[in-house]
Chains A and B, each alone.
Chain A
Amino acid sequence: MKHPWLNRLLSVHGLLFLFFVYAPIIIVVVYSFNSHPVNMMVWKDFTFDWYLSIFGQPTELNEQTLYVESTDQLLAAVKNSLLVAGTTTTFSTLVGTAMALAVYRYYFRLKPFYQGLLFMPMVMPDIVLGIALLVFFVNFSIKLGLMSIIIGHCTFLISYVFIVVSARLAGMDNTLEEASADLGAGPWITFKRVTLPLILPGVVGGALLAFIISMDDLVITYFIAGVDSTTLPVFIYGMLRRGVKPEINAIATLMLVFSFLIASLGLYFRKRS
């Protein structure tokens, strides 16, 4: 390069960008260990007490401040979230993969239109989807609860899986399936031994993406959750409305670690293929 200062400027730009993205997250993590009981932005001492407190363990802070009203409620929300995310991921992975295979393999009338329809839920505003689902459930007298959340999540997560698996299929050599048939393997054996192993990184990636989005979704879930079917994001949002409490930092940090683990799992699978 002719201008070394231009290079340096570029580095500074890059660092600024990373700072912009990660600084708030780092602050949340750091202050989740802050022992200041009232103002969480004033550093006092290092402590694990917020973590202990969200799991209902007795701590020194507990005596001064009782922020998490009910550990039971929090754990129930976590359980609901895992149940919803687990069911939704399983269902949307199966359906999304099957649809990707069908669209990849067959030609039919209005195929581009159909592909467009499958793409739509990804770009549709969450709030529109939330309202639409709420109106639908109420009109058809479907009880709002875990089931309605699961159905609601599936409507758009199928699209995510479909797109991730389709991308993987597009890179697959379609003569491989012919080669398998030529060597005497019927359609099921060909799927099991050739197609599935080759698209597995896409299927796993799509499933992990669906899981994280389902775990994380607030807007749509907020509309269609019933009274006793609060998920973790809805619960945290509820906590926030009653004032920002230091436990939130600890919960956020734990969710961050959880998401990070899932993303690492995805990368591991991609590397291995």
Chain B
Amino acid sequence: MTQAAESIVEVKEAVKRFPAPEGGVVTALDSISLKVQQGQFVTLLGPSGCGKTTLLRTISGFEDLDSGAVLIGGESVLGVPPYRRPVNTVFQNYALFPHLSVSGNVVYGLEVAGIKKTERDHRLKEALERVGLSGFERRKPAQLSGGQQQRVALARAIINQPKLLLLDEPLSALDRNLRQSMQLELKSLQHDLGICFLFVTHDQEEALTMSDQVVVLNQGRIEQIGPPDLLYHKPATRFVAEFIGDSAIFSGRIQNTEASPVLVTEDGLGIPVGRGPKPGDHATLIIRPENLSLAPPNPDDSVSILDAVLEQSVFRGATHQYVCVLPNGTSISATPTGADDEAFSRVSPGDSVQLAFRRNIPHLIIESQ
């Protein structure tokens, strides 16, 4: 198949266990299978301890698998040491060589590979220009700011023209503003170079901003793979919904008829939902704040109504966030826009409101009978 030929990295049913410090075994990778296509920006997203760094290290060669396989460019790299793999890594702490200058660090890979000096110099100049560090050749890493060190680490990796660039939470040490501008720079760098980036992060905002594909990991398992908007609008599991974006989540059993199903939570809250689930199904309803507004005067069947009390409204720049409380005590946020925002802003805290959402928009995960 052509798709298989295009995949730059393929992980097949990878299993990796570590002995836990308190005894027993931690399963870092629990039968993970993954394909990364040529030229994509792929993010491994998950909370700490979910196995994302372990997965990265099995690709770079610093961890061996207990079972399963890793293929780079279609070939198994089982037993191939890190220094013979056509991948390069940007480490979390950058791992710049403190005894070498910026140029010494950047050309390290080329020197080791025995590339001629004239070509080395040419590629050094190009790489430093690309990351915006021309003129810093003679500085030592200790004389650079965190952001500059980050760029050196990036230049040191991309100068080798790897098939795949691995990035292990490279932005986590930077401050917020710098992190945001680096996100965009990384994205355009990846676009310009056309090589595949495999990026590890625990920051969902980072993942959504940069990625073509996001792999959500939890406890050594893949929860969902997909482009950011799919993960946001159609989370496959409750974990993905909770991890990505703000949302109100209701789990319960479907009651009433198939024509007008109602999700009834454990504490007795009934929410009419769109068609699809059968009575008796276990289901999880995810409502994003931007899907909620005040109920129109004469609601029809396309919207569901939730009775609530406005607790407070928070100014958020372009919009307001309205924090409401449902009869069962659950708090739920709404961030309507335009005229909806204006209507909502006339409600005072403490007043009863009727929240409405269009039944076909919020996502419903039907788990099982």
Nearest to A174 among chain B residues (CB) is B95
Q: A62-70, A183-191, A253-261: which lies at the B interface?
A: A183-191
Nearest to B92 among chain A residues (CB) is A175
Is A198's CB under 8 angstroms from B95's CB?
A: no
The contact of B82 among A175, A178, A197, by CB within 8 Å, is A178
Is A185's CB under 8 angstroms from B83's CB?
A: yes
In the complex, A142 has a CB within 8 A of chain B: no
Is B97's CB under 8 angstroms from A179's CB?
A: yes
Q: Which residues of A sit under 8 angstroms from B97, Cβ to Cβ?
A: 176, 179-180, 194
> A184-B83, A184-B112, A185-B83 given as contacts; is B160 within 8 A of A178 (CB)?
no
Is A183's CB under 8 angstroms from B156's CB?
A: yes
In the complex, B280 has a CB within 8 A of chain A: no
CA distance A273 to B142 in the complex (A): 12
B119 to A: closest C-beta gap in Å:
15
> A175-B91, A175-B93, A189-B112 given as contacts; is B83 within 8 A of A182 (CB)?
yes
Is B83's CB under 8 angstroms from A181's CB?
A: yes
In the complex, A60 has a CB within 8 A of chain B: no
Is B99's CB under 8 angstroms from A197's CB?
A: yes
B215 to A: closest C-beta gap in Å:
21
CA distance A173 to B62 in the complex (A): 16
Interface membership of chain B positions 41-67, coded 1 if the CB is closer than 8 angstroms to chain A and 0 otherwise: 000000000000000000011100000
Is A182's CB under 8 angstroms from B60's CB?
A: yes
Q: How many A-B residue pairs have CB under 8 A?
A: 59
Q: Which residues of B sit under 8 angstroms from A185, Cβ to Cβ?
A: 83, 108, 112
In the complex, B218 has a CB within 8 A of chain A: no
> A173-B93, A175-B91, A175-B93 given as contacts; is B82 within 8 A of A181 (CB)?
yes
In the complex, B20 has a CB within 8 A of chain A: no
In the complex, B327 has a CB within 8 A of chain A: no
Q: Which residues of B sit under 8 angstroms from A175, Cβ to Cβ?
A: 91, 93, 95
Tell me the count of chain A residues lying within 8 A, CB to CB, of chain B.
19
Q: Which residues of A sit under 8 angstroms from B270, Cβ to Cβ?
A: none
Nearest to A178 among chain B residues (CB) is B62
By secondary structure, the A interface counts as: helix
Is B62's CB under 8 angstroms from A198's CB?
A: no
B91 to A: closest C-beta gap in Å:
5
Q: Which residues of A sit under 8 angstroms from B84, Cβ to Cβ?
A: 184
CA distance A186 to B60 in the complex (A): 14
Q: Which residues of B sit under 8 angstroms from A184, Cβ to Cβ?
A: 83-84, 109, 112-113, 160
The contact of A173 among B83, B95, B112, B113, by CB within 8 Å, is B95
Is B112's CB under 8 angstroms from A179's CB?
A: no
Interface membership of chain B positions 330-354, coded 1 if the CB is closer than 8 angstroms to chain A and 0 otherwise: 0000000000000000000000000
A200 to B: closest C-beta gap in Å:
9
Nearest to A183 among chain B residues (CB) is B109
In the complex, B81 has a CB within 8 A of chain A: yes
Q: Would you list which residues of chain A between 149 and 174 have a CB under 8 Å from chain B?
A: 173
CA distance A193 to B89 in the complex (A): 19
A154 to B: closest C-beta gap in Å:
30
Interface membership of chain B positions 89-133, coded 1 if the CB is closer than 8 angstroms to chain A and 0 otherwise: 101010111110000000011001100000000000000000000
A183 to B: closest C-beta gap in Å:
4
Interface membership of chain B positions 275-288, coded 1 if the CB is closer than 8 angstroms to chain A and 0 otherwise: 00000000000000
Q: Which residues of A sit under 8 angstroms from B109, Cβ to Cβ?
A: 183-184
Q: Which residues of B sit under 8 angstroms from A198, Cβ to Cβ?
A: 98-99
In the complex, B201 has a CB within 8 A of chain A: no
18 pairs, A vs B, C-beta closer than 8 Å: A173-B93, A173-B95, A178-B89, A178-B95, A180-B108, A181-B81, A182-B60, A182-B87, A182-B88, A182-B89, A183-B83, A183-B108, A183-B157, A184-B113, A185-B108, A193-B108, A194-B97, A273-B99
Top 9 A-B pairs, shortest CB-CB distance: A183-B109, A179-B95, A175-B95, A181-B82, A185-B112, A181-B83, A182-B89, A197-B99, A184-B112
Give the interface of B toward A (CB within 8 A).
Answer: 60-62, 81-84, 87-89, 91, 93, 95-99, 108-109, 112-113, 156-157, 160
Known: A173-B95, A182-B83, A186-B81; 19 extra A-B contacts, CB below 8 A, are: A173-B93, A175-B93, A176-B98, A178-B82, A178-B89, A178-B91, A179-B89, A179-B91, A180-B97, A182-B88, A182-B89, A183-B88, A183-B157, A184-B83, A184-B109, A184-B112, A185-B112, A189-B112, A198-B99
Give the interface of A toward B (CB within 8 A).
Answer: 173, 175-176, 178-186, 189-190, 193-194, 197-198, 273
